Structure 1
């Protein structure tokens, strides 16, 4: 594991950009960017267009290591190039720590949650990630109800796969998302925190993980997780909130930094000039950075 990148993620000021839309979420991301579905006729063309969008973001002067600690990539983005370099290597050269989304989507809802689908050939993917200079990974589950058995299953699965990732020399971002519009979100968060703490306490002294969580209903609900010695960093997803709303909620949580996706790119459009695009991206980066480092 790259020590310089480890120190940057642990101690750096800034946030992590989530550029990892994949599969079913890609058409929505393109539509939000102003690319209509009739602009492509195959999955290959769709992924070409989304790589153009991500390339435009990553190469923008507004996307810089002064404010952005890391970026999460989709597998195809990792395997593609920007200006003759693999995307992960381009990011690293820019001083931005590369992460990789490794999950294959969500299973059907059961017991108020959606577990991750199986991840076939994960070891091969992790080997390729190491070859590409990737620092860590991310994997998402979804919690819809405060069902103790369901939430326990989610956390058990996340940490089981997380240990496989640690064994490969990579840093896992464990992401058991609590749906921000679910009923009794507060109760789900309390159960989730207790389950995560159980697993953290079982890690060895040389093991650390990162957590990516929904911004909690009660400010500083996750303070004990942020301060846990087995946690490198806790980041927050925007979860469908507008950028302004997500930023306001984030500011109330000490030590919690952003890892936003839609809230980062919501004002970007394919038809903008480079100057307009860079300015809109700068406005987003500035406000998300401010919410991550300046707390109320």
Structure 2
């Protein structure tokens, strides 16, 4: 639940937010990258058990702490699990890492060049559970593939509508309208999205704040006005398929944006590493992403 310490940490801290929220559709790919093939599990429960073990290994690693990691985004099953003998959100905050929860249920088919979020009929119950476990905020993702003004406007409308509900539940919404790095007109998408976001931010009641999670723009600093908007608690960037090196290089060009990386954080982690080796690899990734976020 929102509290002043967590708000101050997110608003002013130097560091980044780790994205540990792979859902059912992206979990097999995440496990494969970690070195666990699909023949290592025979059903969803076993699959989610393995990804939870990976996430717990990351969270309990000595290098993963609030000195450089400001927050962590969790999948619902991860929130409900344990780490270090505590509920995961409680454990994270014991390390001064602010817990967030992924609340979206995946994407609709593409219409007007975008993929809207699927309905979330259980949002109120999920948010209430998150609040009871000490979660600070939420994250929800939709995807922009083409520079279609009607489609991008619809995505932003949906995101802000749901964000209003999330605020009413006592949580900080992190709005994520991802622009695909494979889009042939990324720069146009960036420009349209920036305009639509500003329209909505300008209409929020005074004192109301949201967070934004955006793709790293093709033209640096196009989101400069949004970074400094009074309705934005923090603007974070997703890696979106870039390698760690590429994502950090591009992020560092954008003043005021900090990372919220998933694949770029996990890129070199392997389950066969010893604990010391694992922590060394994780520490190197954290150091690189931290440096890119601190520019």
Instruction: Name the TM tier (shorter chain).
Output: over 0.9
Matches within 5 A, 1:166-205: 166-205=167-206
Q: RMSD of the TM alignment (CA)?
A: 0.6
| Counterpart-to-counterpart distance in 2, 1:86 and 1:116 | 28
| Counterpart-to-counterpart distance in 2, 1:121 and 1:181 | 32
Partner residue, 2:119: 118
Partner residue, 1:238: 239
Q: Is the 8 A contact 2:213 2:237 kept in 1?
A: yes
| Counterpart-to-counterpart distance in 2, 1:54 and 1:219 | 32
| Counterpart-to-counterpart distance in 1, 2:122 and 2:61 | 34
| Counterpart-to-counterpart distance in 2, 1:96 and 1:84 | 16
Over residues 47-89 of structure 1, what are the superposed CA-to-partner deviations in whole Å (9 max), with x where a residue is unaligned?
0000000000000001111100000000000001112211111
Q: Is the 8 A contact 2:235 2:257 kept in 1?
A: yes
Matches within 5 A, 1:214-293: 214-293=215-294
| TM-score normalised over the length of structure 2 | 0.99
Return structure 1 stretches of 4+ with deviation > 2 angstroms.
Answer: none
Partner residue, 1:206: 207
Partner residue, 2:28: 27
Aligned residue for 2:25, secondary structure, equals helix
| Counterpart-to-counterpart distance in 1, 2:211 and 2:193 | 15
| Counterpart-to-counterpart distance in 2, 1:164 and 1:66 | 32
1:106 aligns with 2:118: no
1:132 aligns with 2:147: no
| Counterpart-to-counterpart distance in 2, 1:255 and 1:205 | 22
| Counterpart-to-counterpart distance in 2, 1:24 and 1:162 | 24
1:90 aligns with 2:95: no
| Counterpart-to-counterpart distance in 2, 1:47 and 1:184 | 36
Partner residue, 1:48: 49
Shift of 1:196: 0.6
| Counterpart-to-counterpart distance in 2, 1:110 and 1:224 | 29
1:149 aligns with 2:156: no
Aligned residue for 2:235, secondary structure, equals strand
Unaligned runs of 5+ in 2: none
Unaligned runs of 5+ in 1: none
1:12 aligns with 2:22: no
| Counterpart-to-counterpart distance in 1, 2:176 and 2:43 | 30
Q: Is the 8 A contact 2:60 2:84 kept in 1?
A: no
| Counterpart-to-counterpart distance in 1, 2:239 and 2:44 | 27
Shift of 1:270: 0.6
Over residues 141-172 of structure 1, what are the superposed CA-to-partner deviations in whole Å (9 max), with x where a residue is unaligned?
00000000000000000000000000111000
